[in-house]
Structure 1
């Protein structure tokens, strides 16, 4: 689904006059991109264990190096452990499949929800949409990696319950991703 691009309205002259920095702030706000979440899949348990072990060794070596800054052996051990961790992480990254999902614009997201109304039974259970029909459509629409609706449905049907839920939760979660700090200033 593609959303049509709208022309941004011109800010009121009074607002710009009151705050000369508003134009720059407004440009930053208009240039923001929608949130992106990543789901990483890795079936290589040995690579996962290697990263965890290397991370532990690196943390221990860092503690020793930090507590003895003049100890050249401790510094060298930390550097070696850091290289081992980087190598293990590279191997894990090579064995992993990252899937990226971007939040849809609000109009598109609302239209998707509206197009997938709940069944009577789902509505009685408190659902606002039909998860069975919405799930593959939302996954495909939010995917930055080209997942099709057919692929999404296959993954939802064939993967374990936990993995299918992680896929769906990522596609839903990015729609609710918040990147603001309210009340701080």
Structure 2
């Protein structure tokens, strides 16, 4: 007959821990990388309609509709907001960006180091070449069935960054960069009541 000492785990306990950790590790590895979407709309009428609808709903919600008439007005405004959002979405273009795994982002930054002068100005990467490289690397394109297809190249990204007004060019880079900054983790202390 064999006996185990208190410091030796039994096979059952060890298997239970291993199975538990294996399941958790599989879930950790299967997590999808976060995404950021940039929505572009050139239809100013659709944008203004959506902005008005948002303001109307916000105004009516702040007024705290109490009467039946006020409630109907709020419901009508909310319906208009849904319709305006749908119309806006219909005429908009979406560009999606996915966070890169840390080694890929680090490698991309190393491929685009700042010049000596840029480094003296505090740049961590070359502001001339890195934005297009990041936009291209982070961009994901999906076909109508939702399958990923080939997306934006570095020359295409540079063309957009150079050809758009500064605010929109900055928004394009910001969307790609923000995808890298999304943090879905929460840290909490165990054992606190």
Question: TM-score if structure 2 supplies the norm length?
Answer: 0.75
Which protein shows a greater Rg? 2
1:111 paired to 2:107 = yes
Structure 2 CA distance for partners of 1:16 and 1:136, relative to 1, 3 Å = farther
Structure 2 CA distance for partners of 1:46 and 1:15, relative to 1, 3 Å = farther
TM-aligned CA deviation for residue 61 of structure 1: 5.1
Please show how residues 61-100 of structure 1 align to structure 2 within 5 Å: 67-68=66-67, 71=68, 73-100=69-96
Aligned residues: 170
Return the match for 2:178 from 173, 176, 179. Answer: 173
Q: Please list the CA deviations of residues 130-170 of structure 1 after superposition, one character each: whole Å capped at 9, or x if unmatched.
A: 12112111111100121221111111111111211111121
Q: Which moved more, 1:57-66 or 1:22-31?
A: 57-66
TM-aligned CA deviation for residue 179 of structure 1: 0.9
The alignment's C-alpha RMSD in Å is 2.7
Structure 2 CA distance for partners of 1:42 and 1:18, relative to 1, 3 Å = same
Please show how residues 47-66 of structure 1 align to structure 2 within 5 Å: 47-60=46-59
Counterparts of 2:18 and 2:46, CA distance in 1: 54
Question: TM-score if structure 1 supplies the norm length?
Answer: 0.78
Does the CA-based 8 Å contact 1:65-1:78 persist in structure 2? Answer: no
Please show how residues 140-179 of structure 1 align to structure 2 within 5 Å: 140-145=136-141, 146-179=151-184
TM-aligned CA deviation for residue 23 of structure 1: 3.5
Q: Please list the CA deviations of residues 85-122 of structure 1 after superposition, one character each: whole Å capped at 9, or x if unmatched.
A: 11111111112111110011112111111111221211
Counterparts of 1:16 and 1:184, CA distance in 2: 28
TM-aligned CA deviation for residue 82 of structure 1: 2.4
> SS at 2:38's partner residue?
strand
> SS at 1:38's partner residue?
strand
Unaligned runs of at least 5 residues, structure 1: 1-12
Q: Which moved more, 1:15-24 or 1:95-104?
A: 15-24
Structure 2 CA distance for partners of 1:64 and 1:125, relative to 1, 3 Å = closer
Structure 2 CA distance for partners of 1:17 and 1:55, relative to 1, 3 Å = same
TM-aligned CA deviation for residue 75 of structure 1: 4.6
